[in-house]
Amino acid sequence: MHFPITREQRVLGLRHPNLFVRSSLLSLFSEDLDPDPAVSAAVIQTIGEHGWNAAFQFTHQAASLCCDESVAAWIAEEITRVESTTDLKDTRGRALMEWLCQAPIDFLQERFEALLDGLSQKGQQAMRLKLSNLPSRLVFFSHGKARKAQMQSL
């Protein structure tokens, strides 16, 4: 017998005690490129409860989820914290930077320098490289503030 579950139940399932249930649901949401901030909030709560490595089997799948300003702020803090203990080029660092790249362009423009301030020289280079690989409307990230005015006209 098949019992369909509601969307709300699937979001709640991201917080389920069973790793495989959580991981299956994260996979579904990430494949759908779900724009719902509630999904990202549930993933962040689960990471907070279980830690990055134990929250999901493939926690890096979160990088394709919605990244509103509150999620982006959490990611920025997490990147700074992670970078102080490990290399941003590891799976976690790359996933966090990719997830941050989903943030609203206004948020990234306004807070770009602050995002870099918390990072080491190596971390700043990694962040600039990641952001420079975004669509051309974000090219100012790799060329400095001088391009900001030019990009705003797009």
pLDDT in tens, 70-127: 898 898 888 888 776 766 667 888 888 888 888 887 777 777 777 777 777 877 777 7
DSSP letters for 74-129: HHHHHHHHHHTTS-TTSHHHHHHHHHHTTS-HHHHHHHHHHHHHTS-HHHHHHHHH
pTM of the model: 0.75
Say which residue, 84 or 152, is predicted with more confidence: 84
H/E segment holding residue 53 = helix 52-55
Distance (Å, whole) CA 78 – CA 39: 18
Mean pLDDT of the residues in the chain? 79
Q: How confident is the model at residue 135 (pLDDT cuts 50, 70, 90)?
A: low
* Residue 31 neighbours by CB distance under 10 Å: 10
**pLDDT value at position 153?**
41
